[in-house]
Structure 1
Amino acid sequence: MRSTAILLSAVVILAPGPAGAASATITGLKSHRAVYDLKLAKRTDKSEIGGVTGRLVYEFVGSVCDGFATQFRLVTRLENTDGKSRVTDMRTSSFEDADGKLFDFLSQNFIEQTMTDESKGSAKRTEAGAVASIVRPAERKVSLPAEARFPTQHMADLIDAAKAGKSFDQIRLYDGSDGGERVYDTAAVIGKPIEGPAEGDEEKVADRPELAAVKRWPMTISYFDPAKREKGEDTPEYQLSFQLYENGISRRLRLDYGDFALDGRMTELTFIDVKPCN
């Protein structure tokens, strides 16, 4: 979620391996479309948020030969403590090659059907380093840390760390947030693997044969602003918790902003067929 929402992209941390070759984990990522219903899970007395309902639609499609395209849309109705409400609509799309050398993104935010901001750009990794070329809201170049990972790489690294039995790791992530200028410091806490359906689980849509034998891990990722950390602040901008399957599907979402938190429950899951690599 980005801004007031989830980012799975992931959703989505760990010591990077060398760019330039697709990992075995990336080849195993499953193209799919998932829908999550969102609701307010908690709030403190400091929060101006009185209630939240919404829906998140996430689509991930691609292969190591054609690259990976992600479509993400989050529509929420936010109600403040005075009872006034507004509808926000966040739409993002991105493309990433399997080698982690190229990342294109487009992000648009709407309030009551009026677009309030838009960002578009691309990032490229070369032997000389990584740089983002921003087209909107204004043309500019942004130098990126050489170790920064793009979202699909990030998700694959996270799965690799879980498979290796790691319980903690961290990495820098670039996903085009905040007009294409933000690089996050992220830290992940990884739980023990889970197999089979959870007893009393609300997400019955995920209890299907295609996932029955696929491992998943509970994870919590904290997202930090490097600029604030340099000033001695070590409080995350937000925390994202979820269960991540070995094939890249996520369930049981929670996004915690401190003063309030949202829960997301998977209500639809569709697997998408893609053309196999030649």
Structure 2
Amino acid sequence: MIRWFFPARAVALLSLLPAFCLSSPLAATPLLAADLASQNALYDLNLVESAGGETLSATGSMAYSVQKTCAGWVTRQTLDIQSVTRKDGPTHMRSEYTTLESPDSRHLTFSTHETRDGQLLQALHGQASLNPDGSGTAHYDKPLSTTRTLPVGTVFPMAHMANLIDAMQAGKADLASPLFDGTVADGAEDTYATILHRNAPAPLPTLPPPAPDVASSQVHIAFFEQAGHAMTPVYELGMRVFTNGVSDALDMNFGDFRMQGTLHALTLPPNPTCPAPKHATP
């Protein structure tokens, strides 16, 4: 799942959602629940709104790659934003994010690296594991060696996308669950996804003919701090989600400014043919 994780991501928000909406977590779902595609996507980012006029300009790009391997799902995301603000002048923000999620979505290795004008803001590295009920632990190797407890129902990013697509295809209006993706130091965050409306199957953007027709839905996801009881999200992400996991028409709220993400290029590498898992004999 595409993730936006700059530290200053928590101001001007679009909706107030009651905390009790997050009280029905889903257990982790095997990725077989959705036919997720390997993908290499490039997005152009442009400023669409500046809260209070503080951000004068902002442009950027994002490279997002998901590759299914026999060892699991490898995700890489690089986000690069150049902005100019009244207070700080030109600023260059860059974030790099990598994960390996096991085929059963029970284990996650993560690495997050963020800089501002070449200076390190945050570096997180570690591993997390889930039990069958979604409870588990996340161990951070950086910046300090520490362990966080993950609540029942926690999911990792690829399982979250699979659950979201299952909800879209089942005609549901929303989806709530704790999510751990390794982009914050406090463990899991609560998420509340609203499925706004469904679109008829259409060709995937930027692919040459004959591009396959794929159904999609407009989705809005709000992220909340797990430890708090705030009714206001930490940040929000809107996008069109296709049923193979590809996303476009991004709407990212960074707090003091919002950016639109347009899919610039897309390729769909073939998924590998992996040997069937061996089952233990009694």
Task: Tell me the TM-score normalised to structure 1 length.
Answer: 0.84
Calculate percent identity across the aligned residue pairs.
25
User: What count of residue pairs does the alignment treat as equivalent?
Assistant: 258
Match of 1:16 in 2: 26
Residue by residue over 1:40-67, the C-alpha shift from the partner in whole angstroms, topping out at 9 and shown as x without a partner, is 111221x63222110010000015x431
Alpha-carbon offset, residue 178 of structure 1: 1.9
Q: Secondary structure at the match of 1:277?
A: coil
Show the 5 A alignment for 1:199-238: 205=206, 208-211=209-212, 213-229=213-229, 233-238=230-235
Q: Following the alignment from structure 2 to structure 1, what is the Cα–Cα distance between the partners of residues 209 and 112?
A: 33
Structure 2: gaps (5+ residues): 10-21, 276-282
Q: Are 2:69 and 1:59 aligned?
A: no
Q: Following the alignment from structure 2 to structure 1, what is the Cα–Cα distance between the partners of residues 25 and 197?
A: 19
Tell me: CA distance 1:127–1:60, structure 2 relative to 1, closer, same or farther (3 Å).
Answer: closer
Q: Secondary structure at the match of 1:215?
A: strand
Of 2, 6, 10, 1:3 maps to 6
Tell me if structure 2 keeps the 8 A contact 1:110–1:116.
yes
Match of 2:98 in 1: 93
Match of 2:239 in 1: 242
Q: Secondary structure at the match of 1:228?
A: coil
Q: Are 2:29 and 1:32 aligned?
A: no
Amino acid at match of 2:257: F
Alpha-carbon offset, residue 4 of structure 1: 5.5
Tell me if structure 1 keeps the 8 A contact 2:26–2:176.
no
Q: Following the alignment from structure 1 to structure 2, what is the Cα–Cα distance between the partners of residues 42 and 206?
A: 29
Tell me which stretches of 4 or more aligned residues in structure 1 moved more than 6 Å.
Answer: none
Residue by residue over 1:104-153, the C-alpha shift from the partner in whole angstroms, topping out at 9 and shown as x without a partner, is 00111122233333110000123694001110001111111121110000
Tell me: CA distance 1:208–1:118, structure 2 relative to 1, closer, same or farther (3 Å).
Answer: farther
Match of 2:110 in 1: 105
Q: Are 2:180 and 1:174 aligned?
A: yes
Q: Are 2:147 and 1:141 aligned?
A: yes
Q: Following the alignment from structure 2 to structure 1, what is the Cα–Cα distance between the partners of residues 271 and 37?
A: 9
Match of 1:68 in 2: 73
Task: Tell me the TM-score normalised to structure 2 length.
Answer: 0.83
Q: Are 2:54 and 1:48 aligned?
A: yes
Tell me: CA distance 1:197–1:219, structure 2 relative to 1, closer, same or farther (3 Å).
Answer: same
Show the 5 A alignment for 1:179-194: 179=185, 181-194=186-199
Alpha-carbon offset, residue 18 of structure 1: 5.0
Q: Following the alignment from structure 2 to structure 1, what is the Cα–Cα distance between the partners of residues 197 and 122?
A: 40
Q: Following the alignment from structure 2 to structure 1, what is the Cα–Cα distance between the partners of residues 228 and 207?
A: 39
Amino acid at match of 1:99: D
Amino acid at match of 2:39: H
Tell me if structure 2 keeps the 8 A contact 1:39–1:262.
yes
Residue by residue over 1:167-225, the C-alpha shift from the partner in whole angstroms, topping out at 9 and shown as x without a partner, is 1221111111223x232111111033212459xxxx951575333x2101100011111
Tell me if structure 1 keeps the 8 A contact 2:236–2:252.
yes
Structure 1: gaps (5+ residues): 7-12
RMSD: 2.5
Match of 2:131 in 1: 126
* 189-198 vs 263-272, greater mean Cα deviation: 189-198
Residue by residue over 1:226-265, the C-alpha shift from the partner in whole angstroms, topping out at 9 and shown as x without a partner, is 3332xxx311111100000110000100012454211000
Tell me: CA distance 1:18–1:261, structure 2 relative to 1, closer, same or farther (3 Å).
Answer: closer
Q: Following the alignment from structure 2 to structure 1, what is the Cα–Cα distance between the partners of residues 260 and 36?
A: 24
Tell me if structure 2 keeps the 8 A contact 1:107–1:119.
yes
